[in-house]
Amino acid sequence: MFEFSERLRALPPYLFVELDRKKAEAQARGMRVIDLGVGDPDLPTPPHIVEAGQKALEKPQNHHYPSSAGMPAFREAAAEWFERRFGVKLDPRTEVITLIGSKEAIAHFPLAFVNPGEVVLVPTPAYPVYHIGTLFAGGETYYLPLEARNGFRPDLSSLPEEVLSRAKILWLNYPNNPTTAVVSREWFSEVVALAREHGLIVAHDAAYCELYYEDYVPPSILEVPGAQEVAIEFHSLSKTYCMTGWRIGFAVGNPELVKGLLTVKNNVDSGCFQAIQEAGIAALTGPQDCVAEHRRIFDERRRIMTEGLRRLGFEVYPPRATFYLWVRTPEGYSSAEFCARLIEQAGIVVTPGSGFGEPGEGYFRIALTVNKEYLEEALQRLASLNL
């Protein structure tokens, strides 16, 4: 009876909705499913953060509309955390904004700067929301393939001048989901130089910057001289502090870019619940040993699965960050076919690489978001398939 808008009809099927459907089908057949699909940590939010949130719930001043920009105290805490972590000083009044999780801001950001028909440079395979936000803003997505031969970094030198002349935003995401790739500060310097030369906005999704291993520590693009003229960076407390359900994050960077995002948010949301912002303050300013412990746990899981998959003959891209593994599908299978077989015959949910974009074909992503006993069981089930 009612017809969806053209923008909704143009949307690709949302990747994780389809995974949930297949998972439900397997469970309906009585199969005990091991879900390595969605990147939702199984670890609980640290107790001191929960306690701060509980106390904040009781405060009457938190029961009213919050500011779309966020509490000054939360923005100050985010700025202080950022300076400690990256050595970059920010003005919390103009260069920091509170988010209802980084997803909403990533989706809304193009609305502030992209006019219909203008180009947004989007990596692929990638988090689907970069393209979806572009679509909702009426922009045109120009895809930048992430391939193993380039270390899963976009080849920015190959961009046609005609595309660059119309491009408004360049999306980046490092450490990268789904490929787990990482980059150096020097590579970010090349990006900033390109952006300054062509008047590009660089929008960097840094959701996984605190999940790193061995001798690698992810940089912020804002560490690069000149980056604050062209860049905005999106941070999330979801993965760092295991707060996915709390929905809180922050964006930092160029004041005009922050102001544009705030103008959109002023018109579409009423801000993040202040009690959750108080919990966020406890996360950012409190003891950080919980973050180190999360890294230790995910590192142990990373080693178990990487070594186990290699013993079974899988080709695994060696991750130095994130809590994912990016794995080649066995010969003779498409990504979707292999992932469907895992759900149907082994009760293991993983994500087909093709769901993140065409260059993801031939890969699948594993989320290390279950305990090591389940991971070891998943390896046993994989071995029983005789692939």
> Do 327 and 245 reside in the same domain of the chain?
no
| pLDDT of 16 strictly over 70 | no
> Do 163 and 107 reside in the same domain of the chain?
yes
281 assigned to some structural domain: yes
Domain boundary residue, one of 285, 307, 332: 285
pLDDT at 26: 80
pLDDT in tens, 114-154: 999 999 999 999 999 999 999 999 999 999 999 999 999 99
> Do 361 and 297 reside in the same domain of the chain?
yes
pLDDT at 29: 85
> Do 137 and 243 reside in the same domain of the chain?
yes
Query: What mean pLDDT do residues 102-125 have?
Result: 97
Do 31 and 59 form a contact (C-beta atoms < 8 A)?
Answer: no
CB-hemisphere CA count at 13 Å for 295?
19
When pLDDT is cut at 50, 70 and 90, the band that residue 22 belongs to is: confident
Peptide linkage before 66 cis (omega within 30 of 0):
no
Do 340 and 22 form a contact (C-beta atoms < 8 A)?
Answer: yes
pLDDT in tens, 82-100: 999 999 999 999 999 999 9
Query: What mean pLDDT do residues 367-377 have?
Result: 97
326 assigned to some structural domain: yes
239 assigned to some structural domain: yes
pLDDT in tens, 163-179: 999 999 999 999 999 99
| pLDDT of 387 strictly over 90 | no
pLDDT in tens, 40-83: 999 999 999 999 999 999 999 999 999 999 999 999 999 999 99
Domain boundary residue, one of 229, 257, 285: 285
> Do 312 and 240 reside in the same domain of the chain?
no
Domain count, the chain: 2
> Do 89 and 141 reside in the same domain of the chain?
yes
> Do 99 and 146 reside in the same domain of the chain?
yes
Domain boundary residue, one of 285, 317, 340: 285
> Do 92 and 192 reside in the same domain of the chain?
yes
pLDDT at 27: 84
Residue with tokens 């398939």: 385
| pLDDT of 271 strictly over 80 | yes
> Do 164 and 55 reside in the same domain of the chain?
yes
pLDDT at 112: 98
pLDDT at 337: 92
Q: What is the CATH number of the domain that holds 148?
A: 3.40.640.10
pLDDT at 15: 65
> Do 240 and 132 reside in the same domain of the chain?
yes
> Do 175 and 258 reside in the same domain of the chain?
yes
93 assigned to some structural domain: yes
Cα gap 353→137, rounded to integer Å: 26
| pLDDT of 107 strictly over 80 | yes
Check residues 309 and 344 and name the one with the higher pLDDT.
309
The residue segments making up the domain with residue 39 are 6-44+289-384
Write down the mean pLDDT value for the chain: 95
1 assigned to some structural domain: no
pLDDT in tens, 187-224: 999 999 999 999 999 999 999 999 999 999 999 999 99
10 Å CB burial of residue 227 (0-12, 13-18, 19+) is buried
133 assigned to some structural domain: yes
> Do 264 and 379 reside in the same domain of the chain?
no
When pLDDT is cut at 50, 70 and 90, the band that residue 359 belongs to is: very high
Query: With pLDDT > 90 as the criterion, what percentage of the chain qualifies?
Result: 90
60 assigned to some structural domain: yes
Q: What is the CATH number of the domain that holds 370?
A: 3.90.1150.10
Do 349 and 19 form a contact (C-beta atoms < 8 A)?
Answer: yes
